[in-house]
Structure 1
Protein backbone atom coordinates (compact mmCIF):
# COMPACT_ATOMS: atom_id res chain seq x y z
CA UNK A 1 0.00 0.00 0.00
CA UNK A 2 2.97 2.33 0.56
CA UNK A 3 3.57 2.54 -3.19
CA UNK A 4 0.11 3.92 -3.75
CA UNK A 5 0.81 7.07 -1.76
CA UNK A 6 3.53 8.04 -4.28
CA UNK A 7 0.98 8.11 -7.09
CA UNK A 8 -1.09 11.17 -7.97
CA UNK A 9 -4.40 11.15 -6.09
CA UNK A 10 -6.77 10.28 -9.04
CA UNK A 11 -4.51 7.41 -10.11
CA UNK A 12 -4.19 6.21 -6.51
CA UNK A 13 -8.00 6.12 -6.15
CA UNK A 14 -8.41 4.16 -9.40
CA UNK A 15 -5.84 1.62 -8.22
CA UNK A 16 -7.63 1.27 -4.87
CA UNK A 17 -10.99 0.72 -6.62
CA UNK A 18 -9.43 -2.02 -8.79
CA UNK A 19 -8.06 -3.72 -5.66
CA UNK A 20 -11.49 -3.62 -4.02
CA UNK A 21 -13.12 -5.20 -7.12
CA UNK A 22 -10.82 -8.20 -6.85
CA UNK A 23 -8.10 -9.50 -9.11
CA UNK A 24 -5.38 -7.92 -7.01
CA UNK A 25 -2.43 -9.62 -5.42
CA UNK A 26 -2.98 -11.02 -1.90
CA UNK A 27 0.00 -9.06 -0.52
CA UNK A 28 -0.76 -5.84 -2.42
CA UNK A 29 -4.51 -5.94 -3.05
CA UNK A 30 -4.57 -2.65 -4.92
CA UNK A 31 -2.19 -4.00 -7.61
CA UNK A 32 -3.56 -6.12 -10.39
CA UNK A 33 -1.68 -9.29 -11.38
CA UNK A 34 -0.51 -7.72 -14.63
CA UNK A 35 1.58 -5.05 -12.87
CA UNK A 36 5.12 -5.46 -11.65
CA UNK A 37 7.09 -3.14 -9.42
CA UNK A 38 8.91 -1.74 -12.47
CA UNK A 39 5.77 -1.08 -14.47
CA UNK A 40 5.74 2.39 -16.06
CA UNK A 41 2.15 2.83 -14.90
CA UNK A 42 3.31 2.69 -11.26
CA UNK A 43 6.42 4.83 -11.57
CA UNK A 44 6.10 8.53 -12.08
CA UNK A 45 9.26 10.05 -13.58
CA UNK A 46 10.04 13.54 -12.36
CA UNK A 47 13.15 14.90 -14.13
CA UNK A 48 13.06 18.06 -12.00
CA UNK A 49 14.28 16.11 -8.97
CA UNK A 50 17.23 14.48 -10.72
CA UNK A 51 20.66 16.00 -10.01
CA UNK A 52 22.17 18.01 -12.84
CA UNK A 53 25.67 16.84 -13.72
CA UNK A 54 27.90 19.50 -15.32
CA UNK A 55 29.49 18.53 -18.63
CA UNK A 56 33.26 18.81 -18.55
CA UNK A 57 34.77 20.61 -21.55
CA UNK A 58 37.18 18.58 -23.67
CA UNK A 59 40.91 18.77 -23.04
CA UNK A 60 42.42 20.24 -26.22
CA UNK A 61 46.03 19.45 -25.26
CA UNK A 62 47.96 18.19 -28.27
CA UNK A 63 49.94 18.98 -31.39
CA UNK A 64 47.90 19.54 -34.56
CA UNK A 65 49.02 19.66 -38.22
CA UNK A 66 47.36 21.88 -40.80
CA UNK A 67 44.87 20.13 -43.13
CA UNK A 68 42.87 22.87 -44.90
CA UNK A 69 41.50 26.39 -44.77
CA UNK A 70 38.70 28.37 -46.37
CA UNK A 71 38.51 32.17 -46.95
CA UNK A 72 41.79 33.19 -45.31
CA UNK A 73 42.19 36.02 -47.85
CA UNK A 74 38.77 37.50 -46.99
CA UNK A 75 39.51 37.30 -43.27
CA UNK A 76 42.89 39.05 -43.69
CA UNK A 77 41.31 41.70 -45.92
CA UNK A 78 38.82 42.46 -43.13
CA UNK A 79 41.84 43.03 -40.83
CA UNK A 80 43.33 45.49 -43.38
CA UNK A 81 46.37 43.29 -44.14
CA UNK A 82 48.15 44.42 -47.34
CA UNK A 83 47.93 42.32 -50.52
CA UNK A 84 51.53 41.02 -50.48
CA UNK A 85 51.31 39.81 -46.88
CA UNK A 86 47.85 38.28 -47.49
CA UNK A 87 49.22 36.23 -50.39
CA UNK A 88 52.13 35.04 -48.27
CA UNK A 89 49.93 34.14 -45.26
CA UNK A 90 47.51 32.23 -47.50
CA UNK A 91 50.40 29.97 -48.57
CA UNK A 92 51.40 29.12 -44.97
CA UNK A 93 50.41 25.83 -43.40
CA UNK A 94 50.49 26.55 -39.66
CA UNK A 95 50.71 23.93 -36.93
CA UNK A 96 48.97 24.34 -33.56
CA UNK A 97 50.21 23.26 -30.17
CA UNK A 98 47.76 23.54 -27.30
CA UNK A 99 48.60 23.04 -23.65
CA UNK A 100 45.46 22.90 -21.50
CA UNK A 101 45.98 22.64 -17.74
CA UNK A 102 42.85 23.37 -15.71
CA UNK A 103 41.85 27.00 -16.26
CA UNK A 104 45.15 27.95 -17.92
CA UNK A 105 45.88 27.49 -21.62
CA UNK A 106 48.70 28.16 -24.03
CA UNK A 107 48.03 28.09 -27.78
CA UNK A 108 51.04 28.26 -30.07
CA UNK A 109 50.51 28.90 -33.78
CA UNK A 110 53.71 27.81 -35.53
CA UNK A 111 54.60 28.88 -39.09
CA UNK A 112 57.76 29.31 -41.15
CA UNK A 113 57.11 33.09 -41.26
CA UNK A 114 56.53 33.79 -37.55
CA UNK A 115 54.99 32.17 -34.49
CA UNK A 116 52.19 33.48 -32.32
CA UNK A 117 51.80 32.45 -28.68
CA UNK A 118 48.61 33.09 -26.75
CA UNK A 119 48.92 32.42 -22.99
CA UNK A 120 45.78 33.04 -20.88
CA UNK A 121 43.48 32.05 -18.02
CA UNK A 122 39.97 31.00 -19.02
CA UNK A 123 37.21 33.50 -18.25
CA UNK A 124 39.60 36.37 -17.37
CA UNK A 125 39.88 39.42 -19.60
CA UNK A 126 43.39 40.44 -20.68
CA UNK A 127 45.05 42.79 -23.14
CA UNK A 128 46.14 40.82 -26.19
CA UNK A 129 48.97 42.15 -28.35
CA UNK A 130 48.18 41.14 -31.92
CA UNK A 131 51.34 42.79 -33.27
CA UNK A 132 52.46 39.64 -35.13
CA UNK A 133 49.06 39.45 -36.83
CA UNK A 134 47.86 42.99 -37.63
CA UNK A 135 49.68 45.43 -35.33
CA UNK A 136 46.66 45.93 -33.03
CA UNK A 137 45.85 45.40 -29.37
CA UNK A 138 42.47 44.34 -28.03
CA UNK A 139 40.71 43.29 -24.85
CA UNK A 140 40.28 39.52 -25.02
CA UNK A 141 38.39 36.92 -23.03
CA UNK A 142 38.42 33.18 -23.75
CA UNK A 143 35.84 30.83 -22.23
CA UNK A 144 33.91 27.63 -22.87
CA UNK A 145 30.52 27.53 -24.59
CA UNK A 146 29.55 23.89 -24.27
CA UNK A 147 32.38 21.94 -25.91
CA UNK A 148 33.73 24.92 -27.89
CA UNK A 149 36.53 27.21 -26.77
CA UNK A 150 35.39 30.75 -27.67
CA UNK A 151 37.50 33.92 -27.88
CA UNK A 152 36.01 37.42 -28.05
CA UNK A 153 38.41 40.20 -29.04
CA UNK A 154 37.14 43.75 -28.42
CA UNK A 155 39.02 46.44 -30.31
CA UNK A 156 39.02 48.37 -33.58
CA UNK A 157 37.45 45.56 -35.60
CA UNK A 158 33.83 44.55 -35.08
CA UNK A 159 32.88 40.88 -34.58
CA UNK A 160 36.49 39.79 -34.06
CA UNK A 161 37.23 36.46 -32.42
CA UNK A 162 37.53 32.73 -32.92
CA UNK A 163 36.31 29.37 -31.68
CA UNK A 164 38.04 25.99 -31.45
CA UNK A 165 36.29 22.61 -31.23
CA UNK A 166 37.15 18.97 -31.75
CA UNK A 167 35.46 16.51 -34.09
CA UNK A 168 37.21 13.19 -33.62
CA UNK A 169 40.94 13.83 -34.19
CA UNK A 170 40.31 17.07 -36.09
CA UNK A 171 40.64 20.48 -34.45
CA UNK A 172 38.44 23.11 -36.09
CA UNK A 173 39.16 26.83 -35.90
CA UNK A 174 36.56 29.39 -37.00
CA UNK A 175 37.94 32.96 -37.10
CA UNK A 176 35.75 36.03 -37.63
CA UNK A 177 36.43 39.71 -38.32
CA UNK A 178 33.80 42.17 -39.50
CA UNK A 179 31.58 40.07 -41.84
CA UNK A 180 34.31 37.61 -42.89
CA UNK A 181 34.70 34.04 -41.64
CA UNK A 182 37.76 31.83 -42.11
CA UNK A 183 37.73 28.14 -41.18
CA UNK A 184 40.87 26.06 -40.63
CA UNK A 185 41.06 22.33 -39.89
CA UNK A 186 43.98 20.58 -38.18
CA UNK A 187 44.73 16.87 -37.62
CA UNK A 188 45.93 15.80 -34.18
CA UNK A 189 49.31 14.10 -34.47
CA UNK A 190 50.27 13.78 -30.78
Structure 2
Protein backbone atom coordinates (compact mmCIF):
# COMPACT_ATOMS: atom_id res chain seq x y z
CA UNK A 1 0.00 0.00 0.00
CA UNK A 2 1.18 3.49 -0.83
CA UNK A 3 0.36 6.48 1.34
CA UNK A 4 -0.22 9.96 -0.08
CA UNK A 5 -0.54 13.19 1.89
CA UNK A 6 -2.63 15.78 0.07
CA UNK A 7 -2.39 19.44 1.00
CA UNK A 8 -1.64 22.93 -0.24
CA UNK A 9 1.95 23.64 -1.34
CA UNK A 10 2.94 25.74 1.69
CA UNK A 11 1.71 23.03 4.08
CA UNK A 12 3.47 20.24 2.18
CA UNK A 13 6.71 22.25 2.14
CA UNK A 14 6.65 22.45 5.94
CA UNK A 15 5.60 18.81 6.27
CA UNK A 16 8.55 17.63 4.16
CA UNK A 17 10.94 19.52 6.43
CA UNK A 18 9.49 17.87 9.53
CA UNK A 19 8.58 14.45 8.11
CA UNK A 20 10.56 13.49 5.00
CA UNK A 21 8.96 11.32 2.34
CA UNK A 22 9.75 7.62 2.03
CA UNK A 23 9.47 5.07 -0.78
CA UNK A 24 5.85 4.35 0.10
CA UNK A 25 4.79 7.71 1.53
CA UNK A 26 4.62 10.69 -0.80
CA UNK A 27 3.35 14.23 -0.50
CA UNK A 28 1.24 15.91 -3.13
CA UNK A 29 1.44 19.70 -3.06
CA UNK A 30 -1.64 20.62 -5.05
CA UNK A 31 -5.15 21.83 -4.42
CA UNK A 32 -7.14 18.66 -3.79
CA UNK A 33 -10.04 19.68 -6.08
CA UNK A 34 -7.64 20.04 -9.04
CA UNK A 35 -7.67 16.35 -9.96
CA UNK A 36 -4.62 16.70 -12.21
CA UNK A 37 -2.66 15.32 -9.25
CA UNK A 38 -4.36 11.97 -9.86
CA UNK A 39 -1.74 11.51 -12.60
CA UNK A 40 1.01 11.76 -9.95
CA UNK A 41 -0.23 8.60 -8.25
CA UNK A 42 1.16 5.18 -9.06
CA UNK A 43 -1.77 3.08 -10.18
CA UNK A 44 0.02 -0.25 -10.24
CA UNK A 45 -1.25 -1.23 -6.78
CA UNK A 46 -4.57 -2.71 -5.71
CA UNK A 47 -5.25 0.13 -3.35
CA UNK A 48 -3.96 3.52 -2.35
CA UNK A 49 -4.18 5.11 1.07
CA UNK A 50 -4.85 8.86 1.25
CA UNK A 51 -4.57 11.10 4.29
CA UNK A 52 -6.19 14.52 4.40
CA UNK A 53 -5.76 16.10 7.82
CA UNK A 54 -7.11 19.54 8.64
CA UNK A 55 -8.23 20.10 5.06
CA UNK A 56 -11.88 19.36 4.34
CA UNK A 57 -13.41 21.49 7.12
CA UNK A 58 -12.77 24.60 5.00
CA UNK A 59 -14.84 23.39 2.03
CA UNK A 60 -18.55 22.81 1.65
CA UNK A 61 -20.16 19.40 1.47
CA UNK A 62 -20.73 19.59 -2.29
CA UNK A 63 -16.98 20.03 -2.99
CA UNK A 64 -16.15 17.07 -0.74
CA UNK A 65 -18.83 14.97 -2.43
CA UNK A 66 -17.39 15.73 -5.89
CA UNK A 67 -13.87 14.96 -4.68
CA UNK A 68 -14.86 11.64 -3.11
CA UNK A 69 -16.74 10.60 -6.24
CA UNK A 70 -13.67 11.40 -8.35
CA UNK A 71 -11.48 9.35 -6.01
CA UNK A 72 -13.94 6.45 -6.10
CA UNK A 73 -13.94 6.48 -9.90
CA UNK A 74 -10.16 6.75 -10.38
CA UNK A 75 -9.02 4.77 -7.33
CA UNK A 76 -11.43 1.94 -6.58
CA UNK A 77 -10.46 -0.05 -3.48
CA UNK A 78 -8.54 2.92 -2.12
CA UNK A 79 -9.04 4.40 1.33
CA UNK A 80 -8.88 7.83 2.91
CA UNK A 81 -8.68 9.03 6.49
CA UNK A 82 -9.72 12.61 7.16
CA UNK A 83 -10.95 14.76 9.99
CA UNK A 84 -14.05 16.90 9.98
CA UNK A 85 -16.40 18.60 12.40
CA UNK A 86 -19.91 17.28 12.82
CA UNK A 87 -23.05 19.38 12.57
CA UNK A 88 -22.93 19.47 16.39
CA UNK A 89 -19.76 21.55 16.33
CA UNK A 90 -20.06 25.30 16.52
CA UNK A 91 -18.43 26.46 13.29
CA UNK A 92 -19.98 29.92 13.73
CA UNK A 93 -18.22 30.42 17.07
CA UNK A 94 -14.94 29.17 15.61
CA UNK A 95 -15.29 31.44 12.58
CA UNK A 96 -15.90 34.47 14.84
CA UNK A 97 -12.73 33.62 16.79
CA UNK A 98 -10.74 33.31 13.54
CA UNK A 99 -11.82 36.83 12.54
CA UNK A 100 -11.42 38.31 16.03
CA UNK A 101 -7.82 37.13 16.34
CA UNK A 102 -6.92 37.84 12.68
CA UNK A 103 -6.01 34.21 11.97
CA UNK A 104 -6.47 34.64 8.25
CA UNK A 105 -9.17 34.79 5.63
CA UNK A 106 -10.52 31.31 6.31
CA UNK A 107 -13.88 29.91 7.29
CA UNK A 108 -15.03 26.50 8.50
CA UNK A 109 -17.81 25.22 6.22
CA UNK A 110 -18.11 21.45 6.38
CA UNK A 111 -20.31 19.91 9.06
CA UNK A 112 -21.09 16.20 8.77
CA UNK A 113 -24.51 15.29 10.14
CA UNK A 114 -23.80 11.59 10.63
CA UNK A 115 -22.02 8.64 9.05
CA UNK A 116 -24.89 8.08 6.61
CA UNK A 117 -24.25 11.56 5.21
CA UNK A 118 -20.87 10.41 3.92
CA UNK A 119 -22.21 7.14 2.52
CA UNK A 120 -24.96 9.06 0.70
CA UNK A 121 -22.30 10.90 -1.32
CA UNK A 122 -21.96 7.84 -3.55
CA UNK A 123 -22.87 4.14 -3.67
CA UNK A 124 -19.12 3.53 -3.95
CA UNK A 125 -18.36 4.95 -0.51
CA UNK A 126 -18.29 2.86 2.63
CA UNK A 127 -17.48 4.24 6.08
CA UNK A 128 -15.07 1.81 7.72
CA UNK A 129 -14.68 3.57 11.03
CA UNK A 130 -14.68 6.86 12.83
CA UNK A 131 -13.03 8.03 16.00
CA UNK A 132 -13.52 11.09 18.19
CA UNK A 133 -10.60 13.53 18.17
CA UNK A 134 -9.66 12.78 21.75
CA UNK A 135 -10.93 9.22 22.09
CA UNK A 136 -7.53 7.56 22.48
CA UNK A 137 -5.95 10.33 24.53
CA UNK A 138 -5.62 9.69 28.23
CA UNK A 139 -6.69 12.71 30.27
CA UNK A 140 -4.08 14.36 32.47
CA UNK A 141 -4.70 16.37 35.62
CA UNK A 142 -2.23 19.08 34.59
CA UNK A 143 -4.37 19.91 31.53
CA UNK A 144 -7.02 21.31 33.86
CA UNK A 145 -10.59 20.29 34.42
CA UNK A 146 -12.04 22.50 31.66
CA UNK A 147 -9.83 21.00 28.93
CA UNK A 148 -10.49 17.48 30.13
CA UNK A 149 -14.25 18.07 30.19
CA UNK A 150 -14.18 19.60 26.70
CA UNK A 151 -12.25 16.60 25.36
CA UNK A 152 -14.72 14.19 26.95
CA UNK A 153 -17.75 16.12 25.66
CA UNK A 154 -16.23 16.24 22.17
CA UNK A 155 -16.09 12.45 22.11
CA UNK A 156 -19.42 11.91 23.85
CA UNK A 157 -21.31 14.08 21.37
CA UNK A 158 -19.13 13.28 18.32
CA UNK A 159 -18.34 16.95 17.73
CA UNK A 160 -15.10 16.45 15.75
CA UNK A 161 -14.01 13.11 14.37
CA UNK A 162 -11.57 11.22 12.24
CA UNK A 163 -13.26 9.25 9.46
CA UNK A 164 -11.91 6.23 7.60
CA UNK A 165 -13.69 5.47 4.33
CA UNK A 166 -13.15 2.98 1.55
CA UNK A 167 -14.05 3.38 -2.10
CA UNK A 168 -15.73 0.24 -3.42
CA UNK A 169 -15.76 -1.11 -6.97
Structure holding more helix per residue: 2
Output the TM-score relative to the length of structure 2.
0.26
Larger Rg: 1
Structure holding more strand per residue: 1
Output the TM-score relative to the length of structure 1.
0.24
